[in-house]
Amino acid sequence: MQRAIDDKLVRSEQTYDLQCLGVVLGQVFARQTPLKWVTVEDQFGRDLALQYPGTTVIVFPLTMISKRVEDGREIDVAAIYRTVAAHVEEMKDDPEYKR
């Protein structure tokens, strides 16, 4: 995935394809952490997300890569994974996010 991004195989206007890379990243989260796939519905529609069970901690991996590419930022997929996983780990025990 990192190589595809580095080699610019997917351009910033290819939002759907970039979000597919986000699905792959989400699958890594789902396999390596307790996060589970859920559907989140709000006034803008429905989106796939990952939620830490028993909490309101939700992350949206589909757009983690696409937004960065569209903004022209450098992307380090491993760093995104580590950062998000660390934040989820901190938030899951916070009473503010308990159900």
- In the prediction, which pLDDT does 52 show? 98
- In the prediction, which pLDDT does 99 show? 79
Q: What is the pTM of this model?
A: 0.91
User: DSSP string covering 4-56, please?
Assistant: HHHTT-S-TT-HHHHHHHHHHHHHHHHHHSS-EEEEEEETTEEEEEEE-TTB-
- In the prediction, which pLDDT does 23 show? 97
pLDDT in tens, the chain (99 residues): 999 999 999 999 999 999 999 999 999 999 999 999 999 998 989 999 999 999 999 999 999 999 999 999 999 999 999 999 999 999 999 999 987
